[in-house]
Structure 1
Amino acid sequence: MKAADFVLDALEAAKQVEEYVIHLRRDLHMHPEISMQEVRTMKVVAEELERMGIPYEMVPEGGIIGIIEGEQAGKSIILRADLDALPMQEEETNVKGKKIVVSQNDQAAHTCGHDGHTAMLLGAAKILSQNKDKVKGKVILAFEQGEEIGRGIYAIVNRLLEIGADGVWGIHLKSDIPAGKLSVDAGPRMASGFAFHAEIHGKSGHGSRPDLAVSPLDCFTDFYTHLKAMRLTSLDPFKTVTYSIGSIRAGSAANVIPDTLEFSGTVRYLQYEQGLMAEKEFKRILEKTCDLHQCTYQYLIEPKAVDLLVYNQTDCAVIAADAVEKSMGKKALYPYPAWMASEPFAFYQKYFPGVFAFVGIENHEKGTGAEHHNAHFDLDEDVLKLGVAATVQYTIDFLCSENEIDFTPEQKSMKELFKELGYGQ
């Protein structure tokens, strides 16, 4: 059976479940739950799967996995959505006016779009389960806990490896892509990166006699100056990298030179080799600067480059582009550069070839387009049906495709990989 043998107007099918998807999204948005506390959210997902007659299992500290068995044997594909909200207070307005729906929970808000991701996957599940007599193979629904802090990824991917799959698909709503457009470009989609957290130790003293003290602040400012120059002096200009300091803490009195200064931040990159060089240079600059200022240092979180890029496999990206064009027309395709944020979806793509699609939500008339993790973040609900249609069409086309996919899966287990990357389990 080829893709052409399973004829389904994915966009029309998505329009049929649009009201259902929007209702779910609003319900989840009003009742957000932060990472690893998604009790109500998972209950909602489980109840919806039960209504659809889709068997599922709860993965401890991981999420929910549901399985739609097609009536014909074939390949299998994972469809993934994330469940958690952010620990922040949401504003009642977007960039133009009052939002349609606002969180009812203090210090918890869906200001990244995960409510939309979950609702879209349930919408796609409804369509695919209704057509399972035509589905060739198996559809694995993965609803992941704790995406924002990377806590659910170990358990859910570990379980998916036990189940086995031939590919993976995920979606992220994107605030700076025009509503109605989708990006499924091949290659890097989201950055790999590492965090750092360090202390610089000097010698405290009275503010009137800095010559008798060793200021860790002077050391840090010198270090920071050299760090900013690292991009020009040490790193390949043809390979993307971004880095920033996110927090600095030192001292408590205006007239006291402090003993220590603590700072932390992140580095993001699209090529692992660039990440390794950034790690090496960061460490070298800190060591040499501390020596120059007669300070010492210690790492609370040591900089360690990891190879965790969200990367769309070329063959799968071709299937995805065809799926978008088939279901929504060529004009819906939108070329978009990689997003320099990081995503645990990279772990799925270590083991399964696939695509991470961006669905645009920027609509100036509706006031949507505030950046992710911003209190004014909002989404254009009209695009949800597009995400559903793309998911359904890609699933059908991937399962029916007989083309070879050039992909070598990670040979290490999740346990071995986590240990190598220096992650907790």
Structure 2
Amino acid sequence: MKTQNTENNRVFEINTLEAANEVEQYVIDLRRDFHLHPELSLQEERTIKVVTEELTKMGIEYEIVPNGGVIGFIEGNQEGKSLILRADLDALPMKEETQNLKETKVVLSQNDNAAHTCGHDGHSAMLLGAAKILSQNKQYLKGKVILAFEQAEEIGGGIYELLNRLLKIGADGVWGIHLKSDVPSGKISVDSGPRMASAFSFDVIIRGKSGHGSRPDLATSPLDCFTNFYDNLRVMRLNKLDPFNPITFSIGSISAGSASNVIPETLQFSGTARFLQYEQGEKAEKEFKSLLKNICDLHNCTYEYVKEPNAMNLFVYNEENCAAIALNSIKNAIGENAIIHYPAWMASESFGFYQKYFPGVFAFLGIENFEKGTGAEHHNAHFDIDEDVLKLGVASTVQYTFDFLNSEKELNYQSEKKELKDLFIEIGFPVPSWATDQE
């Protein structure tokens, strides 16, 4: 539970859990403030104001990256490596319920059109708590800490600007925490390897021939075509894709027709696929396109891609040696009993972009507590946080920071060689106009 650093041949000991206990109420208060005043992606003006005011109080220099977020700098007294500590700022466009799974929530959004139902309020509060401890002990830091508060994580809208700036600053590693609704409260996973999925999304219009409901034989129903395609898409996992590599498919929206007695001309559907191996994603993309063409031909329909599926090679992947450092950090900070081995999460996260260029760890911190009613799925209106775990996230972040900066372990890591703009174009992410205008 202690981290040791040497200076002038003297040993200083910092009990990271004790330090986290001292800032616990500060972190909880911040989390509740963020939760009361949620802001949607790229609209986080008040949230950024709170973050920068707190950094100013701590004496931490910072810069605001337009449409990207906030970057803060904590310089240690000794030369060394640099580590990025990342959190996200935005809320979701939804109204939350007053109740969690058991009781009334301790804090509710004051904005009916936005709510922190993914945990970003907790992430930002924990990072500010860690920053407070690190700034108070910067004389023991060997190297530099870079605080990254990312805008618009939910829509991937802030990552380009923020990461573009971080690449110019440079760093040796990255760390982040995501609260996890189905992990028991106080347990934390820092497993190595794939931790969150890559994806492709699709948006398709199927065109048939409209007609009267009394004579379906004279029409060509795009709905019949879609249902056949959807049934075969579900079967595709069994007879076309490697059963040992995880993949999920989901259809999120379908729209067709406007009257009960009219067979519609068109049907539009959209959805996503998630996978943990790029080869599996490539295969799924190829089979999806082949299946859509063949089914549409069979039904005498045509199709058009509003958004064509494009398998992205973008995973949250914990570098093995960084994960080993993190494992020891958790044991030292909050105890071996806090460790849990948890399978990869099939959701996607912009943290994968950081790990393209910096080796690091994305930790899952559990908030499932049946007695308190926390544990509803992320993006669910009943989602709530067990605030007692926030101090554990702070202690783990501080401990990993010291341990990583002091570590001389060789990392088995190759940074992405492509320029950020080229990487975004390759995987189909939007590139800001200023970046393309420079060509």
Q: Which residue of 1 aligns with 2:418?
A: 412
Is 1:282 paired with 2:281? Answer: no
Q: Could you tell me which amino acid in structure 2 is paired with residue 211 of structure 1?
A: D
What letter is aligned with 1:354? Answer: G
TM-score (norm 1): 0.99
* Partner in structure 1 of residue 172 of structure 2: 166
Partner of 2:139, secondary structure, is coil
Cα distance in 2 between the residues matched to 1:26 and 1:337: 30
1:188 corresponds to: 194
Residue 77, structure 1, aligned to residue 86, structure 2: no
Contact 2:5–2:140, Cα closer than 8 Å, also in 1: no
Task: Establish whether residue 105 from structure 1 lines up as the match of residue 111 from structure 2.
Answer: yes
Among residues 109, 124, 133, which one is paired with 2:130 in the alignment? 124
Task: Give the structure 1 partner of residue 323 of structure 2.
Answer: 317
The CA deviation at 1:4 is 5.8
Query: How far off its partner does 1:7 sit?
Result: 2.6
SS at 2:140 equivalent = coil
Which of 204, 207, 225 aligns to 1:201? It is 207
- CA distance change for structure 1 residues 407 and 3 in 2, over 3 Å: closer, same or farther? farther
- CA deviations on 1:350-399 (whole Å, 9 max, x unpaired) are 00000000000001111100111011110000000000000000000000
Query: What do residues 309-332 of structure 1 show as CA deviations (whole Å, max 9, x unaligned)?
Result: 001000000000000001111110
SS at match of 1:305: coil
Point out where structure 2 has 5 or more consecutive residues left out of the alignment. Answer: 7-11, 432-439
Q: What are the Cα deviations for residues 120-163 of structure 1, in whole angstroms up to 9, with x where unaligned?
A: 00000000000000000000000000000000000000000000
- Residue 248 of structure 2 corresponds to 242
Specify the alignment match of 1:402 in structure 2.
408
Matches of 1:211 and 1:27 in 2, distance apart?
61
Structure 1 residue identity aligned to 2:421: K
Q: 1:226 is matched by which residue type in structure 2? A: N
Asked whether the 8 Å contact 1:3–1:397 carries over to 2, the reply is: no
Residue identity (%): 69
Where 2:14 maps in the other structure, the secondary structure is coil
Shift of 1:69: 0.4
Map of 1:232 onto structure 2:
238
Q: Is the 8 A contact 1:192 1:270 kept in 2?
A: yes
Matches within 5 A, 1:262-341: 262-341=268-347
Alignment check: 8 A CA contact 1:69 1:139 kept = yes
Q: What CA distance in whole angstroms lies between the structure 2 residues aligned with 1:149 and 1:201?
A: 29
* 1:174-220 CA-partner distances (Å, limit 9, x unpaired): 00000010000001111000110000000011111111111111111
2:56 maps to 1:50: yes
8 Å contact kept, 2:87–2:150 = yes
Find the aligned partners of 1:175 and 1:65 in 2 and give their Cα distance. 28
Count of residues in correspondence between the two structures: 424
Given candidates 151, 154, 157, the residue that maps to 1:145 is: 151
CA distance in 2 between partners of 1:411 and 1:221 (Å): 43
Does the 8 Å contact 1:194/1:304 carry over to 2? yes
Match of 1:380? 386
Is the CA contact (8 Å cut-off) linking 1:77 and 1:140 kept in structure 2?
Answer: yes
Q: Which residue number in structure 1 is paired with residue 217 of structure 2? A: 211
- Any conservation in 2 of the 1:3–1:400 contact (CA below 8 Å)? no
Is the partner of 1:133 in helix, strand or coil? helix
Judge which range, 341-350 or 208-217, deviates more: 208-217
The corresponding residue for 1:348 is 354
**Secondary structure of 1:7 counterpart:** strand
The one-letter code matched in structure 1 to 2:217 is D
Q: Does structure 1 retain, via aligned residues, the 8 Å contact 2:4–2:14? A: no
Shift >3 Å, 4+ stretches: 2-6
- AA of the residue aligned to 1:394: Y
Counterpart residue number, 1:114? 120
CA distance in 2, matches of 1:407, 1:74: 19
1:82 is displaced (CA, Å) by 0.1
C-alpha contact 1:3 1:401 (8 A) present in aligned 2: no
In structure 1, the residue matched to 2:182 is 176
List per-residue Cα deviations over 1:75-96 (Å, max 9, x = no partner). Answer: 0000000000001001111100
**Residue type of the alignment partner of 1:361:** I
Alignment deviations for residues 229-248 of structure 1 (CA, whole Å, 9 cap, x no partner): 01001000000000011111
CA-CA distance at 1:3 after TM superposition: 5.6
CA contact (8 A) 1:87 1:108 kept: yes
CA distance, structure 2, for counterparts of residue 421 and residue 265 of structure 1 = 17
Q: Which is further off, 98-107 or 73-82?
A: 98-107
Opposite residue 112 of structure 2, the aligned amino acid is D
Give 1:35's match in structure 2, choosing from 41, 47, 58: 41
